[in-house]
Structure 1
Amino acid sequence: MKDLSDFFDIVGGLEDLRAAIPASSSDRISGIARTMSPILAGASWRRQYYSFAIVQIYSTHERFIRDLVTVTTRLMKDLYSTYESLPDVLKREHLMLTLKRLQDMAQGNPLDPVILRNEISDLVACFDGVIALNEEAMAKHTSNFRSGTVRQVLSRLDFKLEDCGTDAEGFGEFPFGVLVGLYATAESVLDDLANRRNDVAHGSDSEIVDIDTLRAIAETIYRYDLWLFRTMARSHLSGLVEREAVEVGTIDHAWTNRATNVRSIGRLNDLSSDLRPGAFGYVVKNKVQICTVGEIQVDNQRIAVATSGAGPFAVDLGVPIKTGSSFKVIPVALSRLERILLEATKEGKNVELVV
């Protein structure tokens, strides 16, 4: 995306130059004007930078989705212990897609017997219980990566993708700027981008949009891909909590934190393990909420560590909680995987976009 940002800056500078050329008086600028003015004023120049931008925005998006599927497929051996424990949807899709890939390879010319043998061996290993998924098969798709295709590809991983409009807080404002009145959803921007990319690739005529609109399209796709990355990370983290987390205690009463006006303080009568401020944890009731343990008190006195048998404890968890919720933690053996997923849930959420 940095390369694309640099390209937009160059094009923007040339467009500013075109607008300034008639008012230029220096001999040097006049010479540039005579050379550049016919080029920058022509439709050919605008079509060239438009075509380049459309192809680059789309190819960056497609590469991101393929990489996301590849990395997520690879992550399955850390998220699950055996092939049998994988979601049924994933196992079925993996088998069908791998068999299709093996068939295509067998019909290829020239045939690479080493690669073919290795991929058959990995498939056999899966039936022996080892998670040795075929990343190439899982990530391949012959259609353009429109929103519907993205949804279909991610469903192979047992991930149900909702429209980003259902997560306004996570995705952010849309439409914005010059896109107001042009697009209703981020998904419609992606679908239109795929259509424009096809038009460019086949030399078809399509409406050329200006540089500001191209920037906004690029920003939307960038935001969409990062939102998708965060959403998948949250989903996998929630699944990990449901499968592997250990219950530390049950919240039998909740109070409002007067400083934040959030009902985030819960009473835990007893604990199954020690608890310290700053620890990561999860409040579970109907859904999984990520939280960080704040202040812990016993009899209105702040303590440095809560230990079994020393309660009841008042624990500020920093998120809205309800009575009857479970407070859970991930076992130490999975802490590295937990940190990876936690960091992914924050990726690009509070940084300025490069375009």
Structure 2
Amino acid sequence: MRTDSNFASSEHIRQAASISKALAAPSWRVFVYKTAIVQLYGMHERFMRELSDALAETISQAYASYDELPEAIQNSHLRLSLEHFQTIMRSRTADDPIMQLKSAMSSLVGCLSGSVALTKDAMRSHGANFRHDMVRDLVSRYAVEIPKWSVDMYWKGFPFGSLHGIYASPTSLIDELADRRNDVAHGGDIDGVLDNAMLSDMARAVYLYDLWILRVAARSLLTRLVDKYGMQIASVDHYWPSTGASRLVDVGSKISVGSMVFIQSKGVELTTVKSLQKEKTTIHSAEPGGGPFGAVFGVAARRGNRILALPLRLAGTQESLWSAATVEPHPGIASATESMVMASGA
């Protein structure tokens, strides 16, 4: 075997040239495209399944009894639980279907007896890919309604990058991702191999879509908890539009700068206390019996609006849902999505 440096160098160059040629070949680009599509859809589906589990767990912990759940959630849970029983009995891979069935039935009986323990396997079940309609069906089981994307400022600027003029909406992009994943998984004809730029922007759009669904679901659950368990802690009898300040007659419990509160008018607005005053003096907290107070919130609180808060037992749930409802896209998402598809060298 020759080991001199000249041979080694020339052989290395020859191999490198051969590899570069292979990377540029159409077959390699198709392989990278297929890998990116399957990986991207897989992350999207996993996120939706994990979101369903998180919603089921949050609701189970937050509501005091099964009867207090919104009717839409009760109906979905009952229907899906019965379907889940049938799925267990038809399964050919379950280790012990009878034991699984007993466990699932015991959970449902417990709910009907008053406790809240939504069966995650049942609530997340799906018979189709997670296109937009399937996502909408999934979150509707938790009484969550997805708004039209076009009226949500979250989507300002879409379509962006190489997607401009290609996809009319984020929802149509999600639908096509599912179609392309099926073509790849089932050996169907590939209808146009997307280049790196488009794959990168598609990955970014899918990430933003999933984050959007999380924000919508968290805000919906939090609003429903306020409707059910919200306690009035103050009312507004005057509002100054020029300063955004509201006058509170008094407070029913202590509130402080930074406290999470809910402004109830025609709907419920989630916000925080930005500043407090008493007799034109800035204060950090307002105590019952010390009113009236001046207050500035993150949103306008007008005359007749009620200021609500959730009970202390829901403090952890409130914080988690608030965090999810206001989460912002990661600043590095553009570079992160580009790295998913750089392997093709296109």
Q: Which bracket does the TM-score occupy, shorter chain normalised?
A: 0.7 to 0.9
* 1:309 alignment counterpart: 289
Structure 1 position 228, deviation (Å): 0.8
- Give the secondary structure class of the aligned counterpart of 2:233: strand
- Percent sequence identity over aligned pairs: 34
Structure 1 residues 59 and 174: CA distance shift in structure 2, 3 A: same
2:17 corresponds to 1:37: no
Write the distance in 1 (CA, Å) between the matches of 2:259 and 2:53.
Answer: 31
2:280 corresponds to 1:300: yes
Number of residue pairs the alignment of both structures matches: 324
* 1:261 alignment counterpart: none
| Matched AA of 2:286 | A
Structure 1 position 185, deviation (Å): 0.6
Task: Tell me the alpha carbon deviations over residues 141-184 of structure 1, each in whole angstroms, 9 at most, x when there is no partner.
Answer: 1111100111112212211112322212x344311011100011
- Give the secondary structure class of the aligned counterpart of 1:174: coil
- Give the secondary structure class of the aligned counterpart of 2:268: strand
Write the distance in 1 (CA, Å) between the matches of 2:53 and 2:98.
Answer: 23
Write the distance in 2 (CA, Å) between the matches of 1:28 and 1:234.
Answer: 61
* 1:351 alignment counterpart: 331
* Contact kept in structure 2, 1:283 and 1:326, CA below 8 Å: yes
| Matched AA of 2:331 | V
Structure 1 residues 181 and 108: CA distance shift in structure 2, 3 A: closer
| Matched AA of 2:67 | E
- Give the secondary structure class of the aligned counterpart of 2:183: helix
Task: Tell me the alpha carbon deviations over residues 71-105 of structure 1, each in whole angstroms, 9 at most, x when there is no partner.
Answer: 21122122211111112222222222211221222
* 1:175 alignment counterpart: 159
- Give the secondary structure class of the aligned counterpart of 1:68: helix
Question: Normalising by the residue count of structure 2, what TM-score does the alignment of the two structures yield?
Answer: 0.88
Write the distance in 1 (CA, Å) between the matches of 2:21 and 2:257.
Answer: 67
**Structure 1 portions without partners, runs of 5+:** 1-25, 259-263
Instruction: Report which stretch shifted further, 300-309 or 35-44.
Output: 300-309
Q: Cα RMSD between the aligned structures? A: 1.9
* 1:198 alignment counterpart: 182
| Matched AA of 2:214 | F
**Structure 2 portions without partners, runs of 5+:** 1-8, 338-346
2:29 corresponds to 1:46: yes
Write the distance in 2 (CA, Å) between the matches of 1:184 and 1:133.
Answer: 37
Task: Tell me the alpha carbon deviations over residues 108-164 of structure 1, each in whole angstroms, 9 at most, x when there is no partner.
Answer: 346532222111111111211111221101101111110011111221221111232
* Contact kept in structure 1, 2:58 and 2:317, CA below 8 Å: no
- Give the secondary structure class of the aligned counterpart of 1:105: helix
Structure 1 residues 132 and 275: CA distance shift in structure 2, 3 A: closer
* 1:128 alignment counterpart: 113
Q: Which runs of 4+ in 1 moved over 4 A?
A: 26-30
* Contact kept in structure 2, 1:171 and 1:224, CA below 8 Å: no
Task: Tell me the alpha carbon deviations over residues 44-78 of structure 1, each in whole angstroms, 9 at most, x when there is no partner.
Answer: 01100000000010011011111111221122122
Write the distance in 2 (CA, Å) between the matches of 1:153 and 1:305.
Answer: 42
Question: Normalising by the residue count of structure 1, what TM-score does the alignment of the two structures yield?
Answer: 0.86
Structure 1 residues 350 and 56: CA distance shift in structure 2, 3 A: closer
* Contact kept in structure 2, 1:265 and 1:318, CA below 8 Å: no
Structure 1 position 27, deviation (Å): 5.8
* Contact kept in structure 2, 1:278 and 1:294, CA below 8 Å: yes
